[in-house]
Structure 1
Amino acid sequence: MDILKVVILAIIEGLTEFLPVSSTGHLIVASSFFGVAHEDFTKLFTIVIQLGTILSVVVLYFKRFFQSIDFYFKLLVAFIPAVVFGLLLSDFIDSLLESPITVAVTLILGGLVLLKVDDWFGDAENTEISYSTAFKIGLFQCLAMIPGMSRSGASIVGGMTQKLSRTAAAEFSFFLAVPTMLGATLKKSYDYYMAGFTLTTDQINYLIIGNVVGFVVALFAIKSFIGYLSKHGFKIFGYYRVVIGVAILIIHYFISPLTVI
């Protein structure tokens, strides 16, 4: 890993974390192209730089995070499924993180859903989130444990199935990202610490730079996404996912195999 790769991966994280296109999938493919996906530091880096993108949500929606105690309980209810399934399926999830083909297939499947989701649920205007709705969104979010599925995409679609408006579903997805991504970052960091993994000075600097870059890029990505989504819906993201997924398969099978092991 060098500084150029750090910046590029951080930009990818900031751009894609809150879009329904799968940041994890993009990072897996990008780091595979760079030839660093097999490195332990790369795997840690792609998790830890989520802290920067988390901070962008807190900054943009600062007042909303202090609206009521009820708000935090709903986030907790939505977060619980990720905790349960994350602990139960940890090893299986880690194995999937080494498969660009898994990313390609789930990008395509998720893209096909996004091409139709506006037709299925796009007319909803509800903005109120009940505890039952929060829990169901949390269950949908667990689909994103499959690389390429997209945490934001799964949780937004989950919200829309519960008759939430596109904007309300997207914003709750952003809020839910804070405990979910923070929990994933802390767990992965702890796992690496217990395994005896130590960071060099350069690696610590890379983590700092990655978080700063991811934070700045995510600020613009979130604001742009909400504006676009309220007017145009999900179709462009569906087409994008399908094109990228097909491109990955073509590159892997006909040009140069993508591998991270």
Structure 2
Amino acid sequence: MDIFQAIILAIIEGITEYLPISSTGHMIIGSSLMGISELEFTKIFEVNIQFGAILSVLVLYWKRFFQSVQFYTKLLTAFIPAMIIGFLLNDFIDSLLESVLVVAISMVLGGVILIFIDKYFENKATKENISYPDALKIGLFQCIAMIPGVSRSAASIIGGMFQGLSRKDSAEFSFFLAVPTMFAASAYKLLKSYKAGSLTFSTEELQLLLVGNVVAFIVAMLAIKFFIGFLQKYGFKVFGYYRIIVGLIIIGLVAAGFDLKIV
């Protein structure tokens, strides 16, 4: 991997992590087209730069993380389902990750749902406060994203809207929930790599990791700011059409003989 490829992947991570379009599908296309999907460092790089994306939420919403103890207990409540199900079904989830078609189909089906989701919630009353049962249910919705190609952001946002939250409040809670969820998942993957003896880097690779995290951090902040405003004004439909297009592109590339790999 060279510096240009590292920057491209970091931009993809920063843009797609918090938008409801699935970072997995985009990483498949990006790393495969650049011919670096099978490199062991690529796998570690894509996990590591998630910390840059996590930091963007902490910086943008730092005041919210000091508002109350309940803020953390509700986040923990929402995080528990992913922690339990992820631990129990880790091997099954890894087996799903072997199928690019699972990702593509999930992209298309998720896109169809997003096209019609605004109509479903049209004119429904919203509330501002999240109860503990609400948080738990949002956490259960987030677990749907363990299916490759299902956007964690989309699943948790829609989960919040089903609990009566507005688009904006659902999106922001989804961002907050991403912090413990992504941190735990990324740390666990890095720990596995460490135990396997593959978590050693050259000076050049350390520089790529630094650049990747900085780029992912900056791009993720811009993406979050864009997404909140866009979502309030236009809803999910555009993201739905986009997901369908990307899913069909993946299917087309596979049918054309491209060896796409999930990293």
2:71 pairs with 1:71: yes
Question: Are 1:28 and 1:97, in contact at CA under 8 Å, matched by a contact in 2?
Answer: no
Deviation at residue 134 of structure 1 after TM alignment: 0.5
Question: Are 1:85 and 1:142, in contact at CA under 8 Å, matched by a contact in 2?
Answer: yes
Whichever residue aligns with residue 236 of structure 1, its letter is V
Structure 2 counterparts to residues 172-251 of structure 1, below 5 A: 172-197=173-198, 198-251=200-253
Deviation at residue 202 of structure 1 after TM alignment: 1.7
- Rounded to whole Å, the distance in 2 between the matches of 1:138 and 1:117 is 19
Q: How has the CA–CA distance of structure 1 residues 48 and 66 changed in structure 2, closer, same or farther, with 3 Å as cutoff?
A: same
Tell me the alpha carbon deviations over residues 3-25 of structure 1, each in whole angstroms, 9 at most, x when there is no partner: 11110000000001100001122
Whichever residue aligns with residue 83 of structure 1, its letter is M
Which position in structure 2 is the counterpart of 1:95? 95
Structure 2 counterparts to residues 134-149 of structure 1, below 5 A: 134-149=135-150
Detail structure 1 runs of 4+ shifted over 6 Å in the superposition: none
Q: How has the CA–CA distance of structure 1 residues 200 and 94 changed in structure 2, closer, same or farther, with 3 Å as cutoff?
A: farther
Tell me the alpha carbon deviations over residues 40-63 of structure 1, each in whole angstroms, 9 at most, x when there is no partner: 221111111110111111111111
Structure 2 unaligned spans of 5+:
none
Alignment: residue pair count: 260
Deviation at residue 97 of structure 1 after TM alignment: 2.8
Deviates more, 1:104-113 or 1:90-99: 90-99
Whichever residue aligns with residue 39 of structure 1, its letter is L
Which position in structure 1 is the counterpart of 2:119? 119
Deviation at residue 224 of structure 1 after TM alignment: 0.6
Deviates more, 1:122-131 or 1:50-59: 122-131
Whichever residue aligns with residue 117 of structure 2, its letter is V
Deviation at residue 114 of structure 1 after TM alignment: 0.4
- Rounded to whole Å, the distance in 2 between the matches of 1:98 and 1:52 is 26
Tell me the alpha carbon deviations over residues 117-164 of structure 1, each in whole angstroms, 9 at most, x when there is no partner: 111124342121110010111111111111210110110011111111
Which position in structure 1 is the counterpart of 2:161? 160
- Rounded to whole Å, the distance in 2 between the matches of 1:12 and 1:164 is 28
- Rounded to whole Å, the distance in 1 between the matches of 2:101 and 2:73 is 37
- Rounded to whole Å, the distance in 2 between the matches of 1:259 and 1:248 is 8
Whichever residue aligns with residue 203 of structure 1, its letter is E
Superposition TM-score, scaled by structure 1 size: 0.96
Deviation at residue 102 of structure 1 after TM alignment: 1.7
Question: Are 1:122 and 1:165, in contact at CA under 8 Å, matched by a contact in 2?
Answer: no
- Rounded to whole Å, the distance in 1 between the matches of 2:232 and 2:99 is 34
Question: Are 2:25 and 2:246, in contact at CA under 8 Å, matched by a contact in 1?
Answer: no
Whichever residue aligns with residue 244 of structure 2, its letter is V
- SS in structure 1 at match of 2:178: helix
- Rounded to whole Å, the distance in 2 between the matches of 1:57 and 1:109 is 28
Deviates more, 1:88-97 or 1:7-16: 88-97
Which position in structure 2 is the counterpart of 1:34? 34
